[in-house]
Chain A
Amino acid sequence: MRLLAAMSGGVDSAVAAALAVDAGHDVTGVHLALSPDRQTLRSGARGCCSVEDAHDARRVADELGIPFYVWDLAERFTEDVVDDFVAEYAAGRTPNPCLRCNERVKFAAVLDRAQALGFDAVVTGHHARLVDGELRRSVDAGKDQSYVLAVLTAQQLAGAVFPLGSMTKQRVRQIAAERGFAVATKADSHDICFIPDGDTRGFLARRLGERPGPVVDAATGATVGEHAGTYGFTVGQRRGLGAAVGDSRPRYVLGIEPVTRTVTIGTADLAGVGEVRTAAPTWTGPAPQLPARAEVQLRAHGTPVPCEVTAGDGGGLRLLLDEQQRGVAPGQSAVLYAPDAERGDLVLGQGTVVAASRRVPA
């Protein structure tokens, strides 16, 4: 196959590209210049991005002896991922920018361009298994990235190759070291790539400005504190609430109301969620017959919980959880899996959380 390897400059995508070459494919490397951070522009004439990451990726490509190019997708990334991220927070939701990037940049703009240029598929270093069009969790549960890939459709998955799903991260680093890649010991990226200092609240404050509002106790309806902007909060959040309530029981964010800028907090017994409603779902394969049994994961590193999947309003889903969950934030994806201990849990699809309610399980 003619494959386009998306090379971030990290160890995973380096090894993914190397394995694609080993498998006998005709591989071309491409680094996606995504940084919308105009402070890194050297001059108006030549906009630059993650110079060091591009260098690291190029070094690996040169070692592999494959062609390598840099594609400038900063504009598309800014529009579809960064601006979306800011707008979602402004609307009181908690977005997942990696998922959005996969949905709209890597497996949309990049894949479309790759296929137009004659490539059969895009190779990435995601930790997930993709065999016969079925997307499954990685064998390395700690590094599994199937959650942020669940938004991909069958058509997008047909243009994707994930060579790392059947190996652990440790094995990936070992392969990189054996091949003498300088990135073998490069630190994992944990944070949001466009917020390199990890200060999401500060990033949003710069974009959205001060938007003060009240912190209200759900039990009494009383205003118990002030905040500088609802974008500093996520449903389920426990720390940094800036509120003084009479007793010492921990409080959680229960809801965010962007128009009145109200952050509602409450005790653990109020924070549990038993029913989740989503927007219209996407499926990685044929849409399942509803109702159905599945496991749902409600955030990137969340624990999956068994649930009943039923049809909801407006083409969305209604998920009835077997056990109550805390921290079900609108804007996150509810990713549905069919458990499979042997071959890896199968990703069925996902829907964006639009609402959650307590509903005590029967």
Chain B
Amino acid sequence: MTYLDHAATTPVLPEVVAAMTEQLGRVGNASSLHASGRAARRVAEQSRERLAEALGARPSEVLFTAGGTEGDNLAVKGLFWARREVDSRRRRIVASPAEHHAVLDSVEWLAKHEGADITWLAVEPTGRVAPEALRTALGTAEDVALASVMWANNEVGTVSDLAALAEVAHAVGVPLHTDAVQAVGQVPVDFGASGVDALSMTGHKLGGPMAAGVLLLRRDTECMPLLHGGGQERDVRSGTLDVAAIVGLQVATCTAVGSREERAARLAALRDRLVAGVMAQVPDVQLNGAPLDDVVAGGPGRLPGNAHLSFPGAEGDALLMLLDARGVECSTGSACSAGVARPSHVLLAVGADPDRARSSLRFSFGHTSVEEDVDAVLDVIGPVVERARRAGLGRGDKE
């Protein structure tokens, strides 16, 4: 099996399994006052401190969540409600149309149910949001509740310069949230240095457990809770701490961040060989997103393990099925809840034509990827593309 869908989820690290298994064997609610509770709390708080250090945050800025979707929902809705409460004019949200659905749908929900106005940011063809675009969209910003721009795009892998964006937002007093689910462990992420006010990340994209994540929230940033209850996590996110998941998340994050440079170089080399090999066999293939060697703010402008390609005349859907049948697992981007593959909303947002958006595939490398994975794709991609092209661009085109 050739697993090239690490951006969807990546294998759990053995040291994470060990740490979680050890913690699962212990009793203790981190909110309890007795010895078992104190022991659990110690593990949770140690994890919080180590995570903070790995991410350039203070421990008090680390709020444990159940993953990226929760972090995005909490930040977008919580910041909106908190800011509007202080000043009722603040009901505009400025966001990139290339965001993950956890942000897009939260923003749209607020527009539908809470009277929010949305300003969609102009996005560069690579998927990057330029600071100028944010400045234009914010204007004088007295009506803006928050801005949200992802650190690295989950489909095309493009990295934006969050420090520059935060500076623009802060110049007009607007808090900036970033979805860094794909970025942490892949590119340098320093919460404090970036200046962003809220950052969501999750464990299972970097070798940790699913349904465990963090919202980094600056100490002076007000955020209304989605979950009310025991008052854990600065009263912003109630709920008994899942200490085993937290320790797993921490071990995974610290490992991924610690080994980032070495891994990034290795994955970029694999990715570059894949793209070159595909281009040799399918000359008209199109690389989506930023160039492979792109640089932004002195760091990688594209996630090192990301290859997002369009195969003109073939449907992503058909390519995925044919590759799956040959033991190669990759992704077309998003599917609806019934399972219908959809044209990439990211490509549509950056102005690609619908056929290009429908004909795309994402290959994403991760910590277990090896040269043989590239070989496996290159062994089959030519005939697969040829066959998919024979089946056409789907939708039952009439002859």
Contacts and interface: CB of A to CB of B under 8 A. Distances in A.
B388 interface: yes
B340 A49 contact: yes
Given A28-B325, A45-B345, A54 B338 contact: yes
A73 interface: yes
Interface stretch (A113-121, A325-333, A345-353): A113-121
Interface size class of B (residues with CB under 8 A): 20 to 34
Contacts of A116: 387, 390-392
Contacts of A67: 321, 324-325
A47 B387 contact: no
Nearest to A113: B391
8 contacts: A54-B339, A67-B321, A69-B341, A70-B339, A73-B395, A75-B396, A105-B396, A117-B387
A49 B396 contact: no
Residue of A43, A50, A73 with highest tally of chain B CB at under 10 A: A43
Contacts of B324: 67
Contacts of A70: 335, 338-341
Contacts of A75: 395-396
Interface in B345-399: 345, 387-388, 390-392, 394-396
A187 interface: no
Contacts of B325: 28, 67
Chain A: interface size category: 20 to 34
Contact of B340 (A33, A43, A55, A113): A33
Interface of B: 101, 104-105, 108, 317-318, 320-322, 324-325, 334-342, 345, 387-388, 390-392, 394-396
A76 interface: yes
Interface in A42-74: 42-43, 45-51, 54-55, 58, 67, 69-73
> 5 nearest interchain CB pairs?
A109-B396, A76-B396, A116-B391, A70-B339, A46-B336
A50 B339 CA distance: 10
B108 A43 contact: yes
A72 B341 contact: yes
B322 A117 contact: yes
A31 interface: yes
A55 B335 CA distance: 13
A58 B339 contact: yes
A228 B104 CA distance: 45
Contact of B317 (A31, A49, A58, A71): A71
Contacts of B337: 42, 46, 48, 51
A71 B395 CA distance: 9
A58 B337 CA distance: 12
Contacts of A46: 101, 334, 336-337, 342
A24 to B, nearest CB: 17
A76 B334 contact: no
Contact of B336 (A28, A42, A71, A112): A42
Contact of B392 (A28, A58, A113): A113
A60 B308 CA distance: 32
Which of A43, A50, A55, A113 has its CB near the most chain B CB atoms (within 10 A)? Answer: A113
